[in-house]
A and B are shown apart, each in its own frame.
Chain A
Amino acid sequence: MASSYELSHEREYHAIRSAAALLDVSPLYKYRVRGKDAARLLHLVVTRSVEDMKVGQVGYTPWCDAAGKVLDDGTIARLGEREFRMTAAEPNLRWLEDNAVGLDVSVEDVSDSLAALALQGPASRIILEEIDLKYFRIADTTFRGIPVQVSRTGYTGDLGFELWVRKERALALWDALIEAGTPYGIVPAGMLALDVARIEAGLMLIDVDYVPARKALIDSQTSSPFELDLAWTVNLQKERFVGREALAAEAARGPQWQFVGVEIEWQSLERLYAEVGLATRLPATAWRTSVPIYSGGEQAGYATSGGWSPLLKKYVALAHLQSKWAAPGTGLEIEITVEHRRKRAGARVVKKPFFDPERKRG
């Protein structure tokens, strides 16, 4: 995925929030899961319930290893009674096939043959000719003569859609969307703009906000769905799924860590910079480093990504905090480097998402 299509990502970001942005999300891994036992396989693999998903429904979900640690996260779209499409950030073909032993199901990697474009922003619906599609639903349609599947999904926390198209028609679809969107201010956007938007939306990013269990060098690098604020995706009513026992035990004792929103206090920042005679400096792009967070003398946790929200005019971050410090409103301190020196700025736990417009679901 491109970093940005212009010298700066600024306009691309604002298009996501005020007009429409078009993003090439084809690099996602995509799997077509078909057969009599398709629902059973996915039901077994992921944490949420798949068997009761309706045709045309899309669900976001993580999936775990046997220890209940997150391997990856993505969406599952039920395209038919016996057909699903699963998206993932990492390759998962082997994992799906390993779990399909004995089931009547075929898993096909369609990552290369199926392209995906994300059309995100308040003008996205009007550009798609006022498409009538509910939040987290998918439908077959055509756009200017091109057969596409459109889902009301995305990674920006805004009104938005993702369009799934055969790779042969992908360029034509891109051009058609740009043409249709130009009167509405459509702008191609890359990862830098998306990164700001997804942080505002409180959406985590693999390899940045969590280490997938497959890549963890030590156990403490892994995270359970509970520790990633994904309890709502874990359906312990299901009789069987990978990681169930471990997750049930964790649910009973409560997670040690929580994944929360943190707001860095302006007055505190301003004071730290004024001490060295500087105007307050803010990061121009989102950052993706681990930054310690303290409560008095103790380390309460760490932020994993953050940045300045141009819309909210707030400096926000996504952070992992030990549960006792994770309640909204808790006052903490976050490390910040001011003129080569490590300082601590005041910070506060706030509810995620930082930005949650009506139009996202409406």
Chain B
Amino acid sequence: MASYDAVVIGAGHNSLVCAAYLARAGRKVLVVERRERIGGAAVTEEVFPGFRFSVFSYVVSLLRPEIIRELELPRHGLHILPLESTFTPLPDGNYLAQWNDHDQNRRELARHSLRDAEAYDEFGLMLHQMARAVKPLLAMAPPDPTSLSFGDLMGMKRLGEHFRGLGVKRFSMLTKLLTMSSADFLDEWFESEPLKATKSASGIIGTLLGPRSPGTAYVLLHHYMGELDGVFRAWGFAKGGNGSVTAAIAGAAQAAGAEIRTAAPVAQVLVKHGRARGVLLDDGEEIGAKLVVSGADPRRTFLGLVGEQHLPGPFVDSIRRFRFRGSSAKVNLALGELPDFAALPGRGPHLRGAVSISPSVDYLERAYDEAKYGEYSKRPYMDIVIPSLLDPQMAPPGKHVMSIFVQYAPYQLNGGWTDARREAFGDTVVDTLAQYAPNLKNAILHRQVVTPADIERIVGLSEGNIFQGELSLQQMFFLRPVPAWAKYRTPVSALWQCGAGTHPGGGVMGASGRNAAMQILGRS
């Protein structure tokens, strides 16, 4: 039986980050991946000849700058290209664009509302301060307020001091962000519908919640984190697609001595006398290790790979109740020509940023209403990018790839997902977008539709939840994934978790992987 200091289950970005830090600390590390390729949900695949797609996750927005620096990811091929703008076409033929350039942006906003144009800067400043207030929490193992252990008490004390240092005004703003719906929160700042809708959309990504559901304001902040780093620019589009992000992390891990095996699905975590001893692969091979780190989500890890018999009953109950409810789908299009938006025709700079189908808060909430009752949205929210405009190598010369992130497509669809319903959903997405870009249908050369059921089947994310569990307040911080087990440890000794199902959660962030490694190494 081969023996390692640590075997890491899965080769998604968090697993690879964790493996890289462990290997850099001199540990003998093996990463085992079920698929024939590394990357988890951050992969680039040539789905159609010449057309390369970030099949699942499609932008870099939250990747922690300290990980980029410490693992020297640029040296391993990471090149983040800027996404410049957000363009929201409207059904009445108008549009709202948000530009990078301050004055250009202000002039555009003023076209819709002079008040909003003024409020925009203040809003940005407020979010910046809030993000700074929350940022220290990202890099720490969350202290447990219910625990009386010295470490937890000290952690809570530090946290208390941190929050007291914010002052009353900022602390009350933070409280609002933690409790309000994104729509209500934005109502306090803006009046223009497309602006509110487009901004509130970042509060609903990955959740089965609507913009008027309480708690979504925090998710909005979660997504703003990446912008805090300003010129460092940790957000944008990874040249070569999101597969190049995980390839760079894997490069860093391998350079530090970690081994990576693909097409090596784990059947179970070997547990003896309450302690993890290694893993058993599907083909019967046993790999011994002093510790096992799972990058799989909590349900898969505990109910699938460990088994209930090795776990306390209440813990198993909590894991069963951990909510996934995947609600996001992807439609990837190979295009013969660029989409031509009726609201802003031609090949302008608006095509180089995100295109958001979010004309009003009502539009988004209606899209959610259908999902609530088990149907996909007939008029869905979409976040669209055209990576080939930023990185022409993603498509043959003159041709393009389009990535459409769609909500809502509930995992628990009435009657379940079938091939026919997947394609019908794809038609709905294309039909909706074609109302804004009439040439779209004729431009489509190939189409790939990825539902939450597909995400679960291909990548192994339970219920296709892109964050390894909903980013809702009752599943955040010291509650992620389960109270008392939020510090990357598990009830099984020598078994650790490092996936996005732990604090601070999802997005191609890597913080869970790094925090887990720091805990394992006894650094905090």
Encoded as 1 (CB less than 8 Å from any B CB) or 0, chain A from 102 to 113 comes to 000000000000
**Size bracket, chain A contacts:** 20 to 34
A311 touches B132 (CB 8 A): no
Kindly name the residue among B69, B73, B132, B397 whose own CB sees the greatest number of chain A CB atoms within 10 A: B397
B232 at the interface (CB under 8 A from A): yes
Interface residue count on the B side (C-beta < 8 Å): 31
Q: Which residues of A contact B232 (CB under 8 A)?
A: 280, 282, 308, 313
Residue from B68, B231, B239 within 8 A of A18 (CB atoms):
B239
Chain B residues contacting A183 (CB-CB under 8 Å) are 392, 397-398
Tell me if B81 is interfacial: C-beta within 8 Å of chain A: yes
Say yes or no: is A217 at the interface (Cβ < 8 Å to chain B).
no
Q: Is the CB of B74 within 8 A of A11?
A: no
Binding site for B on A (CB under 8 A): 6-8, 10-11, 14, 17-19, 123, 182-185, 266, 279-284, 308, 310-314
- Cβ-defined contact, B392 with A185, below 8 A: yes
Which residues of A are found within 8 Å of B239, using beta-carbon distances?
18
- B contact residues around A282 at 8 Å (CB): 230-232
B79 within 8 A of A: yes
Provide the B70-105 mask, 1 if CB < 8 A to any CB of A, else 0: 000111000111101000000000000000110010
Q: Which of B231, B352, B391 contacts A284 (CB 8 A)?
A: B231
Interface residue B193 (Cβ < 8 Å from any Cβ of A)? no
The 8 closest A-B pairs by CB, nearest first: A183-B397, A185-B392, A282-B231, A183-B398, A7-B101, A312-B74, A184-B392, A18-B239
Q: Give complex CA distance A266, B239 in Å.
A: 24
* Bound complex: CA A266 to CA B234 (Å): 15
For the complex, would chain A's binding face be called helix, strand, loop or mixed by DSSP majority? loop
Q: Main secondary structure on chain B at its contact with chain A?
A: helix
Say whether B101 contacts A14, CB under 8 Å.
Answer: no
Q: Are B82 and A10 in contact (CB under 8 A)?
A: yes
| B501 nearest CB across to chain A (Å) | 28
Q: Which residues of chain A come closer than 8 Å to B231, judged between CB atoms?
A: 281-284, 308, 310
* Contact call A184/B397, Cβ cutoff below 8 A: yes
Contacts of A283 in B (CB 8 A): 231
Q: Which of B444-467 contact A (CB under 8 A)?
A: none
Cα distance A196–B245 when bound, in Å? 23
| B388-402 near A? 1/0 per residue, CB < 8 Å | 011110000110000
Q: Which of B74, B79, B101, B397 contacts A8 (CB 8 A)?
A: B101
23 inter-chain pairs at a CB distance below 8 angstroms, sorted by A residue, are A10-B82, A10-B84, A18-B79, A18-B81, A18-B391, A19-B392, A123-B392, A184-B397, A185-B390, A185-B391, A185-B392, A279-B132, A279-B229, A282-B230, A282-B231, A282-B232, A310-B233, A311-B79, A312-B75, A313-B68, A313-B69, A313-B74, A313-B232
B186 at interface by CB-CB < 8 Å: no
- Which A residue's beta carbon lies closest to that of B233? A310
Query: Within 8 Å of chain A (Cβ to Cβ): is B311?
Result: no
A11-B79 CB under 8 A given contacts A19-B391, A279-B132, A282-B232 = no
Give the chain A neighbours of B79 by CB distance below 8 A.
Answer: 14, 17-18, 311
Which B residues are in CB contact (< 8 Å) with A185? 389-392
